[in-house]
Structure 1
Amino acid sequence: MGEVWREVLSVQPEPERWIIIAAAVLALASVLLGPPWRIGRNVVTIAHEGGHALVALLSGRQLTGIRLHSDTSGVTVSKGRPTGVGMVLTVFAGYVAPSVIGLLGILMLMSDRITALLWLSIVVLAAMLLMIRNVYGVLSVVGTGAVVFGISWFTPAEVQAAFAYLFIWFLLFAGVRPVFELQAQRRRNPSPHSDADQLARLTGLPGALWVAVFLLVNVAVTALGVWLLLF
Structure 2
Amino acid sequence: MNEVWDSLTSVQPQPSWQVVVGTAVAALVLIGWRPLWRNTRQIVTIAHEGAHGLIAALVGRKLAGIRLHSDTSGVTVSRGKPTGVGMIAVLLAGYPGPALFGLAAAFVLSRGYAVALLWGLLLALAILLLQIRNLYGLWSVLVFGAVVFGVSWWGSSAVQSAFAHLLTWFLLLAAPRAVLELQYSRRGGGGRSSDADQLRRLTGVPALLWVGLFGLVTLGCLAVGVIWSGVLPD
Partner of 2:114: 114
Output the CA distance in 1 between the equivalents of 2:153 and 2:71.
31
- Residue 6 of structure 1 deviates from its aligned partner by 2.0
How far apart, in 2, do the equivalents of 1:204 and 1:194 lie?
15
Deviations 1:6-35 (A, max 9, x none): 222221111111000111111122212112
Question: 1 CA distance for matches of 2:67 and 2:134?
Answer: 6
Q: Secondary structure at the match of 1:37?
A: helix
Scaled by the length of structure 1, what TM-score is found? 0.97
Q: Which residue of 2 aligns with 1:136?
A: 136
What are the ranges of 5 or more consecutive residues in structure 1 without an aligned counterpart?
A: none
Q: Which amino acid aligns with 1:202?
A: L
Between the two proteins, what is the percent identity of the paired residues? 52
Alignment partners' CA distance in 2, 1:24 and 1:174:
11
Look up the match of 1:200: 200
Instruction: Give TM-score scaled by structure 2 length.
Output: 0.96
Cα distance in 2 for partners of 1:176, 1:36 equals: 17
Matched AA of 2:34: G
* Aligned-residue offset at 1:190: 3.4
Gaps of 5+ in 2: none
Quote the Cα distance in structure 1 between the aligned partners of 2:7 and 2:164: 16
CA distance in 2, matches of 1:202, 1:125: 31
Q: Secondary structure at the match of 2:14?
A: coil
SS of 1:175's equivalent? helix
Question: What's the Cα RMSD here?
Answer: 1.0
CA distance in 1, matches of 2:154, 2:221: 32
Any residues of structure 2 matched to 1:53-68 within 5 Å, and which?
53-68=53-68
1:2 Cα offset (Å): 3.2
In 1, distance between residues paired with 2:205 and 2:132? 32
Structure 2 matches for 1:16-165, cutoff 5 A?
16-165=16-165
Q: Following the alignment from structure 1 to structure 2, what is the Cα–Cα distance between the partners of residues 23 and 4?
A: 25
* Structure 1 runs of 4+ with >4 Å offset: none
**How many angstroms does 1:126 deviate by?**
0.3
Contact 2:186 2:192 in 1 (8 A): no
Report the number of matched residues. Answer: 231
Deviations 1:67-114 (A, max 9, x none): 000000000000111111110010010000111100000111011101
2:226: which partner in 1?
226
Comparing 62-71 with 218-227, which one deviates more in the overlay?
218-227
Residue 78 of structure 1 aligns to a residue whose secondary structure is strand
